[in-house]
């Protein structure tokens, strides 16, 4: 059995995941400015989105094929980042400042009745707020465009 020894991802080895993480890290820095940026870690050919101590909490990722939509990589990384932040930092992220609730990754313009992802994964991705008890759901910000949430 191979010992558990994850390493930071070699720059340039996973370009689509790296670009997606740079976008997600803009939101992470806007919401949690005192936290170091998230990083990509590699273990046994899988890539993980980790907090600064190198730990994570999600299934491994693979670099998307070159012909896959860019939002596929962004969605994978944003979802993994949310799982890791929730588990490793014990907090919801991002949080809607109007409602004080955690947001969810969704395609732009969805409603509370949204039933799942489309077939091609080419939707613009946003952090979506369920609106709290009032149910006034809304898109908080496009992924990568969050400010201070």
Q: pLDDT tens for residues 37-48? A: 999 999 998 999
Average pLDDT of the chain is 91
Asked if residue 131 is part of any domain, the answer here is yes
The answer to whether the predicted template modeling score (pTM) of the entire model surpasses 0.75 is: yes
Asked if residue 93 is part of any domain, the answer here is yes
The string over 107-138, giving b where at least 16 C-beta atoms fall within 10 Å of a residue's C-beta and e elsewhere, is beebeeeeeeeeeebebebbbbbbeeeeeebe
Asked if residue 1 is part of any domain, the answer here is no
Asked if residue 107 is part of any domain, the answer here is yes
H/E stretch holding 138 reads strand 138-142
Asked if residue 148 is part of any domain, the answer here is no
Token pair recorded at residue 81:
């980042």
Give yes or no for a contact between 123 and 71, defined as CB atoms under 8 angstroms apart: yes
Judged against a pLDDT cut of 90, whether residue 80 lies above it is answered with yes
How many distinct structural domains can be found in the chain? 1
Asked if residue 71 is part of any domain, the answer here is yes
Phi/psi zone of residue 127: left (φ > 0), alpha (ψ -120 to 50 degrees), beta? Answer: beta
Query: How many other C-beta atoms are found inside a 10 Å radius of the C-beta of residue 97?
Result: 12
Give yes or no for a contact between 115 and 89, defined as CB atoms under 8 angstroms apart: no
């Amino acid at each position: 059995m191979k010992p558990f020894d994850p390493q930071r991802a070699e720059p340039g080895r996973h370009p689509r995941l790296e670009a997606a993480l740079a976008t997600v890290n803009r939101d992470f820095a806007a919401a949690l400015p005192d936290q170091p940026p998230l990083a990509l870690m590699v273990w046994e050919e899988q890539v993980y989105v980790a907090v600064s101590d190198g730990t994570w909490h999600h299934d491994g990722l693979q670099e998307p094929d070159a012909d896959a939509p860019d939002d596929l990589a962004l969605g994978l990384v944003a979802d993994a980042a949310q799982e890791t932040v929730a588990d490793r930092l014990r907090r919801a992220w991002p949080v809607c400042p109007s409602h004080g609730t955690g947001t969810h990754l969704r395609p732009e313009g969805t409603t509370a009745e949204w039933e799942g992802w489309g077939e091609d994964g080419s939707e613009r991705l946003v952090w979506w707020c369920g609106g709290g008890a009032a149910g006034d759901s809304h898109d908080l910000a496009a992924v990568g465009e969050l400010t201070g949430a």
